[in-house]
C-alpha cells in the first residue's frame, strides 16, 4: 500500500471531504439528468468510473463553492451541505441531497444500507433499510479505507435512480451550506431558507469517516402521489 | 393542531354513526343526535353542517378538508425566523386559539429540529453562493426519461430496412408455463444442454424438459432444507449433458448425475447463496452473495482449487471464454473482472473494469472472435458494452434504454440478442459491430431474466418474471441456397464451431 498507509491529517481530511463533495455533486447532476449527459466526461476515481462535468460555467461555480467550503471546513464551521434540486418551471424543491458533516471524536459507527438493488422495480418506490452499527474503529484510518467507504456512497447515488421518482421537468440545482453562526462569511454569500420539501420521503445513504470528519448522507424527495402513477 | 384533531374525530364519529344508520334505518338514536348537535356547536368550521355525507365503506379515506393547509404552511414557513414570503395572514382576526396553535406547531417543529435533525436555529446559518450555477441548456432531456417514456406499444420497426435476409418470426414458437420462477435479477435459473435438455429452476425444484420429446422430469427438490431454501442457479456441463451443477440459497453447490438422477457431490465454499455458475471442462466456477468466486475441480476430493476475491458485492454473472483461458465475472458492485484460468486464491484479476454504472449480470463471449466479450448493465446503466479482453479496452457501448438482463450471441451470424426489463420487457436483436437494431421481440409481460440457446443454435428460450418460458426461432442457420452462394468456406455453422472448440480443448 505504501503511501496509502500514511495517517490522514486535518488538511488531508478537508481535501478528502471536499473532493468527495465535488464528486458526489457531479454524480447527482449526471445521474438525475440535470445537465446534459454529453457535457460529462468519464474519470477514474475511488476505483470507480465517475462522471464529472466539463461545462466551464458549472466548473467555476463549483470551484468557488468548494474553495470556500474548504476554508470553512478547516475552521470546523461546516455543519452540512445540501444539494437542492428545483424544478425550473414550478420552482418547487423536488429533491434534497443532504450531507451532514460531523467533526469526529472517538468512536464511529457506520450504517449500512443496500440501495444498489436491481430487483427494485422502477414504478414502485421501495426502500431497503437494513443493518446498522457495523464497524467500530478508533483512531487513524488510511486513505484506502476512506476511499472504499466513499466508493460505496457514490455507488448508492448511482443506484438511487432505481427508487427516486423521475424528474419530469427541467431542473436546476443549488448548493446550501449550513455553517456555524460564528463563521466568517464573505460578501458573495447570502442567507437562504432551507428549501424543505412538502410530503417528502427520505432515504438514508451510507456514511464515511476520515479520522477528523464524519459525513453522513441522505436524500429526501417529493413523494409521488399514488394516483398519478 | 388541536382543532384538526377535533375535526377528525368529528368525521370519524359521523362516518361511524352514518354507517350504523344505514343498518338500522332512518331514525337516529338519541345519543347519536346529541353527539351530532354538540359536534356542530363545538366545531369552528362553519361548513360542518353541509359537509357531504361520508361514504359508508369500511376503508379509511383521508380527508384533506380536515386539515388546515394554510395554517400549517404558515407555521412551517415562519418557524424559521426568516422573512416569510407568504406574508402576514390577511384575515386579521386570528383568534387566540389559532395563535396558540401556530405557536405550538412552531415550538414542536423547532424541538423536532433540534432533537431529530440536529439543527439548532440559534447556532446555524444557511448560506448559498450568490452567483448561481449556470442553468442547464434549455433542451435538456433527462436521460432516464427513456426508461419511463418507452411506451409498451410504440415501436420503431427498423427491420424493414432489411438487415437480415432470413425471416425472423415475431412470435414465440412455443410458450411453457414456469410457475414460481423467482423474479430475481441476481440468479441464473436456465440452462440448455447439448443433449437438448433444458434445465430450469422453479423456486425449490429443478425440472428437466426434454426439447425433443417434450418429456418433463423433476430432478431435485430442496423443500427439506427449509421453507426459504431455493435453487439459485443451474448450469449444464459443457459436453455430454450428463451432469448438472445446481447452486443453492444456503451456499452449497450440488453436482447431479442426470441419467441416474442422483446427487454426486455437494461442494461448499460459499457462506451465502450461489447465484452464478460456469463450467470450464472439469472446473466449475461458482459466484456467491458472499462476494467471492470459487473454482471447484469436480474430479478431486479437495475440490476448492481457488477462491477469487475482488468483488465487493454479490457476484451475479460468470462466464468462461470459449477457449477456456479467461473467466469473466460481473457483480452488483458494478465491476466486471477478468481472471486468468491459472488464477489462484492470492491472484488479482487480470483486469477490473468499472465502466458499468450498475450491476453486471449479462455476460456473453463471442463465438466468432477470440477475446471479444459483451456485457450488459442494470437499470442505472442500461448499456451493452463490448470488450477486448486481451487489452482490457472497451470497444463499444450502446445505451439500450432498459435494464439488460441477459445476452446471447448468434452462433451463425455476427448478431447479439439482448433481453430487457422495464418498460417493454422485450428481446432485441442487434447486428454487430454496427449495433443496428435488427428486430425486437415482444411478448413477455415482465422482465426477461434469463436466456439460453438450443444446441443446434437456432432457437433461444427466454425465461421471464411473468413465469413463462418462450421459445424464439431467431438464430436459424443460413438457408442452403444462400450458403451455396456464399461458398462453404465462410459458413460459420454451429456444428463447425463446435468441432473447432473440441479441437481446441484437445490441444
Identify the structural domains of chain B with CATH numbers, from first to last. 2-84+95-120 (no CATH), 172-476 (2.130.10.10)
Contact list, A175 vs chain B (CB under 8 Å): 128-129, 133
Q: Which of B84, B129, B145, B311 to mutate to test the interface with A (most CBs of A within 10 A)?
A: B129
Contact list, A34 vs chain B (CB under 8 Å): 136, 140
Measure B28 CA to nearest chain A CA, in Å: 36
pLDDT of residue A125: 34
| Yes or no, beta carbons of A32 and B142 under 8 Å apart | yes
| Yes or no, beta carbons of A174 and B185 under 8 Å apart | no
Contact list, B355 vs chain A (CB under 8 Å): 42, 49
Q: What angle do CA B18, B22, B27 make, to 5 degrees?
A: 85
Radius of gyration of chain A (CA): 18
The shortest CB-CB distance from B380 to any of A162, A173, A193 is to A162
* Number of DSSP helices (H) and strands (E) in chain A, helices first: 3, 8
Edge-to-edge strand ranges of the sheet holding B393-399: B360-365, B372-377, B383-388, B393-399
Q: pTM (2 decimals)?
A: 0.61
Q: Which residues pair with B374 in a beta bridge?
A: B364, B386
pLDDT band at A6 (very low <50, low <70, confident <90, very high): low
Residue ranges covered by each domain of chain A: 2-228
Measure B381 CA to nearest chain A CA, in Å: 9
The shortest CB-CB distance from B147 to any of A88, A100, A122 is to A122
d(CA B379, CA B359): 8
pLDDT of residue B33: 63
Contact list, B132 vs chain A (CB under 8 Å): 61, 172, 174
Helix, strand and coil percent figures for chain A, each rounded to 5: 30, 30, 40
Mean pLDDT for the stretch of residues A29-58: 89
Chain centroid offset of residue B14 CA: 46
Tell whether the model's pLDDT for residue A134 goes beyond 50.
no
CB neighbour class for A72 (10 Å; exposed up to 12, middle 13-18, buried from 19): buried
Q: Which of A33, A56, A61, A118 to mutate to test the interface with B (most CBs of B within 10 A)?
A: A118
Q: Which residue on chain A is closest to B123 by alpha carbon?
A: A181
Q: Which residue on chain B is closest to A42 by alpha carbon?
A: B355
Q: Which residues pair with A193 in a beta bridge?
A: none
**Which residues 6+ apart lie within 8 Å of B492 measured at CB?**
B368, B411, B412, B413
Size of interface A-B (CB pairs under 8 A): 156
Tell whether the model's pLDDT for residue A53 goes beyond 80.
yes
pLDDT of residue B507: 38
pLDDT of residue B72: 64
Single out the residue of A5, A53, A33 nearest to residue A171, CA to CA: A33
Instruction: State in Å, rounded, how far the first CA of chain B is from the last one.
Output: 82
- Provide block-wise average pLDDT over 10 residues at a time, chain B (507 residues): 46 44 51 59 45 52 55 60 43 46 49 49 77 70 58 44 75 91 94 93 93 91 90 91 92 93 92 94 94 94 93 94 94 93 90 92 94 92 93 92 93 92 90 90 93 92 94 78 41 41 38
| Yes or no, beta carbons of B125 and A55 under 8 Å apart | no
Comparison of pLDDT for B12 and A198, the residue scoring more: A198
pLDDT of residue B78: 58
* Number of DSSP helices (H) and strands (E) in chain B, helices first: 7, 29
**Element holding B38 (H helix, E strand):** helix B30-42
pLDDT band at A160 (very low <50, low <70, confident <90, very high): confident
| Yes or no, beta carbons of A189 and B148 under 8 Å apart | no
pLDDT of residue B1: 43
Contact list, A62 vs chain B (CB under 8 Å): 133
Mean pLDDT for the stretch of residues A169-183: 88
Cell of A37: 449527459
CATH class of A2-228: alpha beta
Amino acid at each position: 500500500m505504501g503511501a496509502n498507509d500514511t495517517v490522514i491529517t486535518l488538511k488531508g481530511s478537508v481535501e478528502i471531504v471536499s473532493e468527495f463533495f465535488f464528486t458526489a455533486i457531479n454524480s447527482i447532476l449526471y445521474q438525475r439528468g440535470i445537465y446534459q449527459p454529453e457535457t460529462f466526461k468519464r474519470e477514474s476515481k475511488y476505483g470507480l468510473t465517475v462522471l464529472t462535468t466539463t461545462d466551464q460555467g458549472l466548473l467555476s461555480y463549483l470551484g468557488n463553492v468548494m474553495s470556500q467550503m474548504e476554508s470553512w471546513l478547516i475552521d470546523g464551521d461546516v455543519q452540512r451541505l445540501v444539494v437542492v434540486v428545483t424544478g425550473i418551471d414550478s420552482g418547487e424543491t423536488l429533491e434534497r441531497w443532504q450531507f451532514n458533516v460531523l467533526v469526529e471524536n472517538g468512536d464511529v459507527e457506520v450504517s449500512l444500507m443496500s440501495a444498489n438493488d436491481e430487483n427494485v422495480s422502477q414504478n414502485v418506490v421501495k426502500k431497503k433499510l437494513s443493518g446498522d452499527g457495523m464497524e467500530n474503529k478508533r483512531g487513524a484510518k488510511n486513505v484506502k479505507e476512506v476511499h472504499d467507504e466513499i466508493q460505496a456512497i457514490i455507488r448508492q447515488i448511482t443506484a438511487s435512480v432505481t427508487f427516486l421518482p423521475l424528474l419530469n421537468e427541467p431542473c436546476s440545482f443549488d448548493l446550501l451550506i449550513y455553517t456555524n453562526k460564528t463563521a466568517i462569511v464573505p460578501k458573495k454569500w447570502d442567507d437562504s431558507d432551507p428549501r424543505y420539501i412538502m410530503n417528502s420521503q427520505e432515504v438514508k445513504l451510507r456514511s464515511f469517516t476520515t479520522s477528523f470528519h464524519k459525513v453522513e448522507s441522505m436524500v429526501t424527495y417529493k413523494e409521488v402521489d399514488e394516483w398519478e402513477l | 393542531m388541536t382543532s384538526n384533531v377535533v375535526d377528525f374525530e368529528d368525521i370519524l364519529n359521523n362516518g361511524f354513526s352514518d354507517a350504523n344508520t344505514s343498518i338500522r334505518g332512518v331514525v337516529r338514536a338519541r345519543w347519536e343526535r346529541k353527539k351530532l348537535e354538540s359536534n356542530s356547536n363545538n366545531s369552528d368550521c362553519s361548513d360542518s353542517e353541509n359537509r357531504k355525507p361520508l361514504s359508508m365503506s369500511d376503508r379509511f379515506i383521508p380527508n384533506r378538508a380536515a386539515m388546515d393547509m394554510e395554517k400549517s404552511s404558515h407555521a412551517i414557513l415562519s418557524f424559521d425566523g426568516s422573512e416569510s414570503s407568504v406574508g402576514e395572514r390577511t384575515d386579521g382576526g386570528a383568534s387566540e386559539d389559532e395563535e396558540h396553535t401556530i405557536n405550538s406547531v412552531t415550538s414542536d417543529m423547532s424541538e423536532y429540529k433540534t432533537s431529530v435533525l440536529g439543527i439548532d436555529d440559534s447556532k446555524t446559518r444557511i448560506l448559498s453562493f450568490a452567483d448561481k450555477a449556470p442553468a442547464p441548456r434549455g433542451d435538456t432531456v433527462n436521460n432516464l426519461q427513456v426508461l419511463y417514456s418507452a411506451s409498451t406499444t410504440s415501436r420503431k420497426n427498423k427491420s424493414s430496412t432489411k438487415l437480415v435476409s432470413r425471416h425472423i418470426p415475431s412470435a414465440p414458437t412455443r410458450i411453457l408455463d414456469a410457475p414460481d420462477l423467482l423474479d430475481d435479477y441476481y440468479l441464473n435459473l436456465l440452462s440448455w444442454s447439448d443433449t437438448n435438455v433444458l434445465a430450469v429452476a422453479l423456486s425449490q425444484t429443478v425440472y428437466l424438459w426434454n426439447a425433443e420429446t417434450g418429456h418433463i422430469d423433476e430432478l431435485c427438490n430442496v423443500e427439506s432444507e427449509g421453507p426459504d431454501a431455493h435453487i439459485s442457479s443451474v448450469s449444464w456441463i459443457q459436453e455430454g449433458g450428463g451432469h448438472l451443477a445446481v447452486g443453492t440459497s444456503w451456499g452449497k453447490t450440488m453436482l447431479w448425475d442426470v441419467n441416474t438422477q442422483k446427487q454426486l457431490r455437494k461442494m461448499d465454499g460459499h457462506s451465502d447463496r450461489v447465484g452464478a455458475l460456469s463450467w470450464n471442462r472439469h472446473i466449475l466456477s461458482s459466484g456467491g452473495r458472499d462476494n467471492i468466486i470459487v473454482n471447484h475441480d469436480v474430479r478431486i476430493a479437495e475440490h476448492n482449487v481457488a477462491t477469487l476475491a475482488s468483488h465487493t458485492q454479490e457476484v451475479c454473472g460468470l462466464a468462461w471464454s470459449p477457449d477456456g483461458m479467461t473467466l469473466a465475472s460481473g457483480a452488483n458492485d458494478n465491476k466486471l473482472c477478468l481472471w486468468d484460468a491459472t488464477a489462484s486464491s492470492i491472484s488479482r484479476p487480470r483486469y477490473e473494469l468499472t465502466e458499468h454504472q450498475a450491476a453486471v449480470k449479462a455476460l456473453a463471449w463471442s463465438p466468432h472472435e477470440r477475446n471479444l466479450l459483451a456485457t450488459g448493465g442494470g437499470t442505472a446503466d442500461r448499456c451493452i458494452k463490448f470488450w477486448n479482453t486481451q487489452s482490457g479496452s472497451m470497444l463499444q457501448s450502446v445505451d439500450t434504454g432498459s435494464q439488460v438482463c441477459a445476452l446471447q450471441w448468434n452462433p451463425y451470424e455476427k448478431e447479439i440478442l439482448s433481453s430487457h426489463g422495464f418498460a417493454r420487457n422485450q428481446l432485441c436483436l442487434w447486428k454487430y459491430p454496427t449495433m443496428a437494431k435488427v428486430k425486437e421481440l415482444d411478448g413477455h409481460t415482465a422482465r426477461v431474466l434469463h436466456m439460453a440457446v438450443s444446441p443446434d443454435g437456432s432457437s433461444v428460450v427466454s425465461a421471464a418474471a411473468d413465469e413463462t418460458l418462450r421459445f424464439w426461432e431467431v438464430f436459424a442457420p443460413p438457408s442452403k441456397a444462400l450458403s451455396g452462394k456464399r461458398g462453404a468456406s465462410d459458413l460459420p455453422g454451429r456444428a463447425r464451431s463446435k468441432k473447432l472448440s473440441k479441437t481446441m480443448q484437445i490441444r
